[in-house]
């Protein structure tokens, strides 16, 4: 297989996931730029890329994002807010839409309350589908270290979910009693 063929195969396989990762960190527009730069680096270093390529590519994307953050923190803050806004605008596909929206809002609030490092770690595994070993490579640490960080991040997320401040709709009995009160006032 030639270098061009290997790059094409890697690009077709990994581009959507690298884009999703970069977008989750910095928003769609900047995420596309980071993804393009990631594959530019990959093209120059195609011989050095291990198999599977995804963890290596996500590591490059992560480094590019870190470099971007160092260069222009204000621009990053705007892009991160846009990424959160996009994340909040998704729709629900299951039966009870109100419960799904409430659950999603609580999860987003809990996730947003975590540190950037915890948020990145959890999303690498949950949203980007990496294994602990692959995520460790992206994060630049040993798998054992990542496992400990993951355990702690999950505990913090659980605590944040318990304290998420999403108002829940009144219970069905409370709504019925409330309606009965109004009926009596009208008759």
pLDDT by residue for the chain (187 residues), tens only, comes to 798 999 999 999 999 999 999 999 989 999 999 999 999 999 999 999 998 999 999 999 999 998 888 776 544 444 455 556 656 655 444 456 666 667 777 777 777 888 888 888 888 888 788 888 888 998 899 989 998 998 898 888 888 888 865 454 444 454 444 444 444 444 4
pLDDT, residue 92, reads: 44
Which residues have CB under 8 Å from 147's CB, separation 6+?
Answer: 132
For 150, list phi and psi in degrees, rounded to 5.
Answer: -65, -45
For 168, list phi and psi in degrees, rounded to 5.
Answer: -90, 150
pLDDT, residue 5, reads: 92
Which residues have CB under 8 Å from 69's CB, separation 6+?
Answer: 76
Predicted TM-score (pTM) of the model is 0.53
List the one residue out of 107, 120, 118 whose CA is nearest residue 162.
107
pLDDT, residue 177, reads: 47
SS3 80: helix
pLDDT, residue 35, reads: 96
Q: What is the DSSP letter of 51?
A: S
pLDDT, residue 49, reads: 92
pLDDT, residue 12, reads: 95
pLDDT, residue 100, reads: 63
Query: How far apart are the C-alpha atoms of 184 and 6, rounded to whole Å?
Result: 75
Structure token digits, residue 6? 């290997």
Write the DSSP assignment of 63-97 as a string of letters: HHHHHHHHH-HHHHHHHHHHHHHHHHT----SS-H
The residue to which tokens 């009160």 are assigned: 181
pLDDT, residue 32, reads: 95
pLDDT, residue 179, reads: 44
């Amino acid at each position: 297989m030639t270098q061009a063929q290997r790059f094409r195969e890697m690009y077709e396989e990994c581009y959507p996931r690298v884009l999703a990762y970069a977008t989750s960190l910095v928003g769609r527009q900047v995420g596309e730029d980071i993804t393009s730069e990631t594959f530019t680096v990959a093209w120059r270093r195609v011989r050095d890329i291990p198999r599977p390529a995804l963890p290596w590519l996500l590591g490059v994307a992560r480094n590019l994002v870190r470099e971007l953050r160092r260069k222009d923190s204000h621009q990053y803050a705007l892009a991160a807010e846009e990424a959160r806004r996009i994340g909040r605008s998704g729709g629900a596909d299951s039966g009870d839409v109100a419960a799904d929206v409430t659950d999603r809002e609580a999860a987003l609030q809990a996730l947003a309350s975590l540190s950037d490092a915890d948020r990145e770690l959890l999303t690498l595994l949950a949203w980007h589908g990496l294994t602990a070993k692959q995520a460790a490579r992206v994060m630049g640490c040993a798998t054992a270290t990542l496992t400990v960080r993951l355990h702690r991040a999950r505990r913090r997320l659980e605590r944040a979910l318990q304290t998420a401040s999403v108002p829940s709709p009144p219970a069905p009995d409370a709504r019925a009693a409330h309606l009965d009160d109004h009926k009596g006032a009208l008759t």
